[in-house]
Amino acid sequence: QVQLVESGGGLVQAGGSLRLSCAASGRTFSSNAMAWFRQAPEKEREFVTAISWSGGNTYYADSVKGRFTISRDNAKNTVYLQMNSLKPEDTAVYYCAAGGPGPASYAYDYWGQGTQVTVSS
């Protein structure tokens, strides 16, 4: 009973920044965590980062640690992904998800529609 709506994707140059938003409705906080995944063409869906609703613990894939930051606004039921120092290899469709725990996509019950992030070199 959770709906997720993503926004903020676009085209940026390498080294630039972008912030993605995921607005959630429903019983968001009944989920263990919110997460961001990404999927490039012909590649597996990849875990990016997650934040637990209880405690706000954050987890990052090694590939984005130090560059990406996940945060939440509980009052707005919104999760954000701040992406800095973007690289061409960050190009993918980014999805937010609710569920968890863990980095496995199958552990998440609800998904947004995805938003395209393209980083040019």
pLDDT band at 6 (very low <50, low <70, confident <90, very high): very high
Of 52, 53, 66, 30, whose CA–CA distance to 103 is shortest?
Answer: 52
Cβ neighbors of 87 (< 8 A, separation 6 or more) are 14, 119
Q: What token pair was written down for 75?
A: 């009052």
pLDDT in tens, 33-61: 999 999 999 999 999 999 998 888 999 99
pLDDT in tens, 73-114: 988 989 999 999 999 999 999 999 999 888 999 999 999 999
pLDDT at residue 13 is higher than 80: yes
